[in-house]
Each structure stands twice: as structure tokens, then as C-alpha cells.
Amino acid sequence: MNILDIRNLTIEIDGDNGPIRLVDRLSLQIAEGEIHTLVGESGSGKSLLAKAILGFINPRWRVTADRLWWRHYDLLALNPEQRRLVTGRDMAMIFQNPGSYLDPNASIGAQLQECIPNSELKGVYLRRRADRKTRAARLLHRVGIKDHEGVMRAYPFELSDGVAQKVSIAMAIAHNPKLLIADEPTTAMEPQTRSQIYRLLSKLNASHGMSVLMITQDLTAIMPETKRISMVYCGQLMEVGTPQQLLEQPLHPYTEAMRSMSLANHSTPVKTRLPTLGGAIPTMANLPIGCRLGPRCQYARRACIETPRLRKLKQHQFACHYPLIEVKNYD
């Protein structure tokens, strides 16, 4: 069953020449206990999508959607108060640079204890304080930090990237969320630290049934446990499918380009030019009409000035007029 169901989410802001669509009719479904990866380059609106789900919405944005449901709540119909209660109870988010968004003035222990909701504690004043401390230590153990006393005494600048990210995961899982949104948690981290964080998230996913929406830039550095991948480019959904489908037989030229330009596949000989997408990512003010990949796509033809519909071929969805393989029987 889908716990998060988004259909045609659109985010617009007013620009100099009329409204700019930062996110253009994006759909996303996450099943209970699923690890879903959202892959997109910068400016693709992937962080905006995460913010729209959580409700961190700038008043200048116009968020519209055919459906934005979290379990049985229609998030767009709730008033801000109710929405905050729902999202605050069920969702949590972690960010890219843990060292920079932890409070530099407070020790890790103090910040972690602040995250534990009062409703979880037992007893009266002194008892609650002691309980808070033991719970904070238990949280650190759960994310794989053994030296809880040392880390709780430390300040953010004293921690390495990996440990700081683990602390932020501990803060996020303090109230047992149903959905964890991880916004590029491992970009600019070393491969070893990255695989540690991935292992930790998949362990939490398996033991608590917590769904994870992982947002990342690189198609080839995804979590191994990912069930489905959504490719986003400039606010438009390009392709959705399982990792096997996308990495072995992509239907969309964008996925194919991302796959072939990565160095992880060993087909490119050493010291040779890599295949690339020409041009640069368009800026917000000059988004192309129709399929936004159009100007950079080598297969683009006249029909591409119209936005392609998301088409479905057994669980494999794609939005392209000219898919890479001849596809019949889609709907």
C-alpha cells in the first residue's frame, strides 16, 4: 500500500515574464517500508519536492497537486497546524552537510535530548531528565556510535562527517518516523563513510519498517537496497523503475546518458573522453518549453516541444516521445 501518494505536483513562482514552473507535474508513490531513490542534478527540483512534502513552503511558492496524500491525510486540505502535527509525528529529514546544520553552540547531547518528544518519557521531573539521557544514549547506540559519552559531550566541530551524519540520523529517528527523507546525505563523503551510512539506513529500514526517500545526484551511487528509482530533470519526471530496469535497459535518453557518462561501468577505456550531454543545465529563468531535456537531447525531434505524458510499461514508467527501444503495449 502506498503511504505517500503524489500526483501531478506543481510548484510555481512568479518570475519577470510570468510564472516559472520549478516543479512540473511530478508524481511519486512510496509504498510502506520501501526505499525510494530520487535522482536528479542540481536545479532539478528534488529538494523542493522534499520541502513540499514536509510543508516547508515559502509563501512565494504556489504548490498545487491533484493528490498529495500521506496515509489517509490529504496534506493540502489540512490547515498548517494540523499539517505540522501530522508531518512532525510521521516524517523526518536529514541534510547534506551535517556539520553545518547542527547547532555549533550546543553540545551534541543537548541537541539530541531536545529531539526526544515529551510524550515518550515516563515519570516526573528528575525521572524524566534521567530518562531523556538514557534514551539519547540508546539512540546513539542504534546508529552505531559506541562511545556515546564522548560524542554527547562533543560539539559539532569536533566530529567527523560520518559521525555527524550519524548523529543527525539519530536525531531524525528519535520519534520513530514512518518516512525519512534524506536529502543528499552522502554527497562529498568518502566512499567508506557513504557505505556506512547506507548500511545504517537499510538496517533501520529493515528493523523498523521505516520508508526512506533518498535524494541523490548520482545514478550509480545509489543505495543497494533501493526498490525503485525516479529520475528527475529540471522539475520534470523522466523515468521511474527498478534499479535493474534503469541500469540495464533504460528507456529514456536522460537515464541512458547518466548511466553511460558515469565511470562506474567499465566499458569506457582509460584516459579517453567520456560521453557527455552537451550544454549546461538550464537556469530557472530560461527553462525550455516541452520536454526540458530537449536542447541537450541527441534524439530530440519536433514533437519534443510538447511535454510528453508519463507512460507505463509494467511498473516501468517513462516520459519520452521517442524511447530508446521500440515500445508497444504501453498505457
Residues that bind another protein (CB under 8 A): 41-42, 160-161, 187-188, 190-192, 217-219, 257-258, 261-264, 268, 270-277, 280-281, 283
As a three-state string, the secondary structure of 8-32 is EEEEEEEECCEEEEEEEEEEEEEEC
The three grid cell numbers given for residue 37, joined into one nine-digit string: 531513490
SS3 222: coil
Judged on CB neighbours under 10 Å (0-12, 13-18, 19+), 187 is middle
CB of 241 to another protein, least distance (A): 18
Residue 55 φ/ψ, nearest 5 degrees: 85, 15
- Judged by beta carbon, residue 126 or residue 274, the one nearer another protein is 274
Residue 251 φ/ψ, nearest 5 degrees: -100, -20
- Judged by beta carbon, residue 132 or residue 166, the one nearer another protein is 166
Antiparallel, parallel or unpaired: β 311-313 and 236-241:
unpaired
CB of 40 to another protein, least distance (A): 9
CB of 231 to another protein, least distance (A): 12
CB of 324 to another protein, least distance (A): 17
Residue 57's CB: how many other CB atoms inside 10 A? 15
- Judged by beta carbon, residue 42 or residue 249, the one nearer another protein is 42
Q: How far apart are CA 215 and CA 213, in angstroms?
A: 6
- Judged by beta carbon, residue 86 or residue 284, the one nearer another protein is 284
CB of 41 to another protein, least distance (A): 4
CB of 130 to another protein, least distance (A): 36
CB of 280 to another protein, least distance (A): 5
2 touches 29 (CB < 8 A): yes
- Judged by beta carbon, residue 270 or residue 325, the one nearer another protein is 270
Which alpha helices (H) appear in the chain, and where do they start and end?
A: 46-54, 80-90, 98-101, 108-115, 125-142, 148-153, 161-172, 191-208, 243-248, 253-261
- Judged by beta carbon, residue 152 or residue 234, the one nearer another protein is 234
- Judged by beta carbon, residue 18 or residue 191, the one nearer another protein is 191
Q: How far apart are CA 157 and CA 243, in angstroms?
A: 37
Region of 125 on the Ramachandran plot (φ > 0 left; ψ -120 to 50 alpha; else beta): alpha
